[in-house]
Amino acid sequence: MENTPGRRPDPVGTAGAYVALFLLGAMEGLLGCFQFSRGVGPVPVAALAFCALIFMTCLLGGRGMGSPLGGLVPALGWFTASFLLTMPTPAGSVIVTSTAAGGWYLYGGAVSAGVGMALTFRRRGAGARPGMSLWRGSGAWRR
Protein backbone atom coordinates (compact mmCIF):
# COMPACT_ATOMS: atom_id res chain seq x y z
CA MET A 1 0.00 0.00 0.00
CA GLU A 2 1.46 3.33 -1.02
CA ASN A 3 1.34 6.49 1.02
CA THR A 4 -0.59 9.06 -1.00
CA PRO A 5 0.06 12.79 -0.49
CA GLY A 6 -2.32 14.41 1.97
CA ARG A 7 -3.24 11.10 3.56
CA ARG A 8 -2.37 10.63 7.23
CA PRO A 9 -0.51 7.47 8.24
CA ASP A 10 -2.37 4.74 10.08
CA PRO A 11 -2.22 5.53 13.84
CA VAL A 12 -2.05 1.85 14.79
CA GLY A 13 0.88 1.28 12.45
CA THR A 14 2.63 4.41 13.74
CA ALA A 15 2.15 3.34 17.36
CA GLY A 16 3.44 -0.13 16.47
CA ALA A 17 6.54 1.40 14.89
CA TYR A 18 7.24 3.45 18.02
CA VAL A 19 6.81 0.38 20.22
CA ALA A 20 9.20 -1.53 17.94
CA LEU A 21 11.75 1.30 18.18
CA PHE A 22 11.49 1.29 21.99
CA LEU A 23 11.96 -2.48 22.10
CA LEU A 24 14.91 -2.25 19.70
CA GLY A 25 16.60 0.31 21.96
CA ALA A 26 15.85 -1.82 25.03
CA MET A 27 17.28 -4.94 23.37
CA GLU A 28 20.42 -3.03 22.41
CA GLY A 29 20.75 -1.96 26.05
CA LEU A 30 20.14 -5.49 27.31
CA LEU A 31 22.68 -7.05 24.98
CA GLY A 32 25.16 -4.25 25.56
CA CYS A 33 25.07 -4.65 29.33
CA PHE A 34 26.21 -8.25 29.05
CA GLN A 35 28.62 -7.91 26.11
CA PHE A 36 30.22 -4.46 26.62
CA SER A 37 33.50 -5.83 28.00
CA ARG A 38 34.56 -7.70 24.88
CA GLY A 39 37.55 -6.10 23.28
CA VAL A 40 40.78 -6.48 21.41
CA GLY A 41 43.58 -5.96 23.89
CA PRO A 42 42.86 -2.81 25.90
CA VAL A 43 40.38 -1.43 23.35
CA PRO A 44 36.72 -1.99 24.36
CA VAL A 45 35.52 -2.80 20.84
CA ALA A 46 32.09 -4.06 21.86
CA ALA A 47 31.37 -0.98 24.00
CA LEU A 48 32.30 1.30 21.11
CA ALA A 49 30.25 -0.80 18.68
CA PHE A 50 27.19 -0.56 20.94
CA CYS A 51 27.68 3.22 21.13
CA ALA A 52 27.69 3.41 17.33
CA LEU A 53 24.66 1.11 17.18
CA ILE A 54 22.48 3.21 19.49
CA PHE A 55 23.61 6.35 17.65
CA MET A 56 22.51 4.92 14.31
CA THR A 57 19.27 3.56 15.77
CA CYS A 58 18.31 6.98 17.16
CA LEU A 59 19.36 8.84 14.02
CA LEU A 60 17.65 6.51 11.56
CA GLY A 61 14.62 6.02 13.81
CA GLY A 62 14.03 9.78 13.86
CA ARG A 63 14.59 10.20 10.16
CA GLY A 64 12.57 7.14 9.24
CA MET A 65 9.59 8.22 11.33
CA GLY A 66 9.92 11.80 10.11
CA SER A 67 9.86 13.04 13.69
CA PRO A 68 12.36 13.62 16.50
CA LEU A 69 10.19 11.34 18.61
CA GLY A 70 11.45 8.48 16.44
CA GLY A 71 14.95 9.25 17.73
CA LEU A 72 13.85 9.71 21.33
CA VAL A 73 11.98 6.42 21.69
CA PRO A 74 14.92 4.04 21.08
CA ALA A 75 17.07 6.23 23.34
CA LEU A 76 14.49 5.83 26.11
CA GLY A 77 14.50 2.07 25.61
CA TRP A 78 18.30 1.97 25.77
CA PHE A 79 18.44 4.18 28.88
CA THR A 80 15.75 2.13 30.62
CA ALA A 81 17.45 -1.21 30.02
CA SER A 82 21.00 -0.03 30.55
CA PHE A 83 20.43 1.89 33.74
CA LEU A 84 18.11 -0.67 35.30
CA LEU A 85 20.76 -3.32 34.72
CA THR A 86 23.51 -1.15 36.22
CA MET A 87 21.76 -0.89 39.57
CA PRO A 88 23.41 -3.07 42.21
CA THR A 89 21.50 -6.02 43.63
CA PRO A 90 20.91 -6.32 47.38
CA ALA A 91 23.89 -8.69 47.48
CA GLY A 92 26.05 -5.95 45.96
CA SER A 93 26.80 -7.44 42.55
CA VAL A 94 26.54 -5.39 39.36
CA ILE A 95 26.37 -6.25 35.68
CA VAL A 96 28.13 -3.21 34.22
CA THR A 97 31.37 -2.88 36.13
CA SER A 98 33.34 0.25 36.85
CA THR A 99 35.97 -0.35 34.20
CA ALA A 100 37.07 1.57 31.13
CA ALA A 101 34.78 -0.58 28.98
CA GLY A 102 31.85 0.02 31.35
CA GLY A 103 32.46 3.75 31.27
CA TRP A 104 32.69 3.81 27.49
CA TYR A 105 29.49 1.78 27.24
CA LEU A 106 27.39 3.88 29.64
CA TYR A 107 28.74 7.37 29.02
CA GLY A 108 29.52 6.83 25.36
CA GLY A 109 26.12 5.24 24.78
CA ALA A 110 24.34 8.10 26.53
CA VAL A 111 26.23 10.69 24.46
CA SER A 112 25.67 8.69 21.27
CA ALA A 113 21.93 8.41 21.92
CA GLY A 114 21.74 12.12 22.71
CA VAL A 115 23.66 13.16 19.60
CA GLY A 116 21.65 10.82 17.38
CA MET A 117 18.43 12.22 18.79
CA ALA A 118 19.63 15.84 18.55
CA LEU A 119 20.54 15.39 14.90
CA THR A 120 16.93 14.43 14.16
CA PHE A 121 15.84 17.80 15.62
CA ARG A 122 18.47 19.59 13.58
CA ARG A 123 17.50 17.80 10.36
CA ARG A 124 13.83 18.50 10.96
CA GLY A 125 14.48 22.18 11.55
CA ALA A 126 16.67 22.45 8.44
CA GLY A 127 13.69 22.04 6.13
CA ALA A 128 13.24 18.28 6.04
CA ARG A 129 9.78 17.03 5.31
CA PRO A 130 8.31 13.86 6.85
CA GLY A 131 8.43 11.03 4.38
CA MET A 132 11.46 12.34 2.50
CA SER A 133 13.81 9.71 1.24
CA LEU A 134 17.07 9.12 3.11
CA TRP A 135 18.70 8.04 -0.12
CA ARG A 136 18.67 10.45 -3.00
CA GLY A 137 19.25 7.93 -5.76
CA SER A 138 16.55 6.38 -7.85
CA GLY A 139 15.02 3.25 -6.51
CA ALA A 140 12.30 1.72 -4.40
CA TRP A 141 13.16 3.77 -1.29
CA ARG A 142 11.97 7.00 -2.83
CA ARG A 143 8.48 8.31 -2.09
The answer to the question of residue 27 being in a domain is no
Burial of 123 (0-12, 13-18, 19+ CB in 10 A): middle
The answer to the question of residue 81 being in a domain is yes
Domain that holds residue 77: 45-128
Could you state, in chain order, the average pLDDT of each consecutive group of 10 residues for the chain (143 residues)? 65 89 94 86 89 92 88 93 87 79 88 88 56 45 44
The answer to the question of residue 29 being in a domain is no
Between CA 6 and CA 58 the distance in angstroms is 27
The answer to the question of residue 120 being in a domain is yes
- For the beta carbon of residue 101, count every other beta carbon within 10 angstroms: 21
* pTM beyond cutoff 0.85: no
